[in-house]
Chain A
Amino acid sequence: MTKPLSKTVEGLKPSGIRKFFDLVSEMKDAISLGVGEPDFDTPWHIRDEGIFALEKGKTFYTSNAGLKELREEICNYLKRRQNVSYNPNEEVLVTVGGSEAIDIGLRALVNPGDEVIIPQPSYVSYEPCAVLAGAKPVIIDLKAENEFRLTAEELRGAITDKTKVLILPFPNNPTGAVMTRRDLEEIAKIVIENDIYVMSDEIYAELTYNGEHVSIASLEGMKERTILINGFSKAYAMTGWRLGYACAPKAIISQMTKIHQFAIMCAPTTSQYAAVEALKNGDNDVKEMRQAYNQRRRFLINAFKQMGLDCFEPFGAFYVFPCIKEFGMTSEEFATRFLEEEKVAVVPGNAFGESGEGFVRISYAYSLENLKVAVDRLGHFIEKLRAG
């Protein structure tokens, strides 16, 4: 074939993680601190429910929006945990992971030339999804001195008369930053003033360690303009089940459901049955996992403090994002040398946007035993670098 492929797709930058992935994969005995998924198995009672659904022959499509029972449980959950009420019949869409919700949510909202504000460092798919939807991404470089929270000032500076959507990625991957209620209230004020939509990616909502997560959708005047995205991957350790959801006003969900219907049909049926069980009886599992993550988080922050490594204390997700600028290397150089010399893989911060340059993402979705070995090696590496 000689005819060119899609210019839009060809123009997308490949994920910055890919290159590093290839490098790590070649190294047999490396310890990885590079994953973005829980180390826990999906709790057994949830898996068992999936097995049971298969045994009973529940192997057909569900309705496009997802099992009614699941949508109802999602609404119960959001009411119970995030204090926001949705109608299960017309304001909820069950998707193939949070990722699908990001993609179709943006496609449902934007027209060509609309601007989508994306705070970075953040998850790698917002920018390409915005581009694929025909929007123009407008990047806000979040700052370490603000502990990577989005400030009202930064948001104001990014808004133009073309601004359509603000993506709000908190608790944040890769920085671990969380937004407090007060932070969100300031953001909400500007969002309402300028009449823009918010896509709030709250996939890490349950993994918040300094009090409860606040959803921007629960603030006055925000539900009507917010697509709330959440899912089962992080909270219930269900990454491979590929199940997430979006909640938004009927006008938006009905448009998203059209895309979902044509592109996907419905989310995996087995996963949906398992997810019902997760929401009904999984609160305690979430609590236990959160406690374990929090212990590891404290362990890492304490270890960094002892080795004098500059790192703000993150209170969300399962990442820490230490600054490596003192070593005079780029994030990629640091990560590559750390891998080659100490056989530990971390992800260069610039994989999540240019403002991640000078930082590395370290995941604590690993057992304490693993983390201890990795931290020893990090200490050794840093000492070596400091000694010149």
Chain B
Amino acid sequence: MRDELLSLIEKNSRMGLDELSVLLGVKEIEVAQELAKLEEEGIICGYHTLINWDKTSIEKVTALIEVKVTPQRGQGFDRIAERVYNYPEVKSVYLISGGYDLLVTLEEKTLKEIASFVSDKLSTLDSVLSTATHFILKKYKDHGTIFDKKREDEREVISP
């Protein structure tokens, strides 16, 4: 049940216990217990809402920043990652294999704010060797959801 439950609420975290219990074919109490367990184990880390900010009047600029760093003795990349992810404007931090080390996503109201974060905060950290900032121009798909996709049912209305 665990995998199926996770894949259901990954797509729709607002599904109630009653509905989940019907869809999974188990009792509500079992769903509730499983959810509690998943939260406790840190498998479920939050119940977020996917918002297409482009459609609102709120301005948001998102940047992907590639960061090369010097790993620190005894702590590898974890220490520097922590320094970075503690900034609330940082949305995500991944350790990446390949040409650079950390991929940081940053969400701010203006380009200027992002520029100042990179130059004043990120680049000045001791272990940061270099950064490369990419601005996101348009989001087509996020978290498995395609934005702006309207689908008509093209099937014949009745078929044998």
Interface residues of A (CB under 8 A from B): 15, 17, 20-21, 24-25, 30, 32, 34-37, 39, 123-125, 173, 291, 295-296, 298-299, 302, 345, 347, 351, 368
Contact = CB atoms under 8 A, between A and B. Distances in A.
B23 interface: yes
Nearest to A32: B157
Interface of B: 4, 7-8, 19, 22-25, 153, 155-160
A248 B70 CA distance: 65
B159 A37 contact: yes
A17 B159 contact: yes
B7 to A, nearest CB: 8
A4 B138 CA distance: 64
Contact of A345 (B7, B8, B24, B157): B157
Contacts of B157: 21, 24-25, 30, 32, 34-35, 345
Contact of B156 (A21, A291, A295): A21
A350 to B, nearest CB: 13
B8 A295 contact: yes
B116 to A, nearest CB: 41
Nearest to B153: A39
A151 to B, nearest CB: 25
A347 B158 contact: yes
Nearest to A34: B158
A32 B158 contact: yes
A124 B158 contact: no
Contacts of B22: 298-299, 302
B23 A21 contact: no
Lowest 8 A-B CB distances belong to which pairs? A34-B158, A295-B23, A32-B157, A21-B158, A36-B159, A124-B160, A302-B22, A24-B157
Given A21-B157, A295-B24, A298-B25, 9 more contacts: A15-B160, A32-B157, A34-B157, A35-B159, A36-B160, A291-B4, A298-B23, A345-B157, A347-B158
Contacts of A15: 160
A35 B23 contact: no
A173 B157 CA distance: 17
A205 B24 CA distance: 21
Contacts of A125: 160
Contacts of B158: 17, 20-21, 24, 32, 34-35, 345, 347
Contacts of B159: 17, 34-37
A303 B160 CA distance: 24
Contacts of A291: 4, 7
Contacts of B19: 299
Given A39-B153, A291-B4, A351 B25 contact: no
Which of A30, A124, A291, A347 has the largest count of B CB atoms less than 10 A from its CB? A291
B160 A299 contact: no
A347 B156 CA distance: 13
Contacts of A17: 158-160
Contacts of B23: 295-296, 298-299, 368
Given A35-B155, A295-B23, A123 B160 contact: yes
A216 B59 CA distance: 62
Contacts of A30: 157
B160 A351 contact: yes
Which of A20, A30, A298, A345 has the largest count of B CB atoms less than 10 A from its CB? A298
Nearest to B4: A291
Contacts of A21: 156-158
A91 to B, nearest CB: 29
19 contacts: A15-B160, A24-B157, A24-B158, A30-B157, A34-B157, A34-B158, A36-B159, A37-B155, A37-B159, A39-B155, A123-B160, A125-B160, A173-B160, A295-B8, A295-B24, A298-B23, A299-B19, A299-B22, A351-B160
Contacts of A123: 160
Contacts of A35: 155-159
A345 B153 CA distance: 14
Contacts of B156: 21, 35
Contacts of A347: 158
B156 to A, nearest CB: 7
B4 to A, nearest CB: 6
A341 to B, nearest CB: 17
Contacts of B8: 295
A32 B157 CA distance: 6
A17 B156 CA distance: 12
Nearest to B12: A368
A355 to B, nearest CB: 16
Nearest to A20: B158
B1 to A, nearest CB: 11
A299 B7 CA distance: 17
A156 B8 CA distance: 46
A39 B157 CA distance: 12
A123 to B, nearest CB: 6
A371 to B, nearest CB: 11
B148 to A, nearest CB: 17
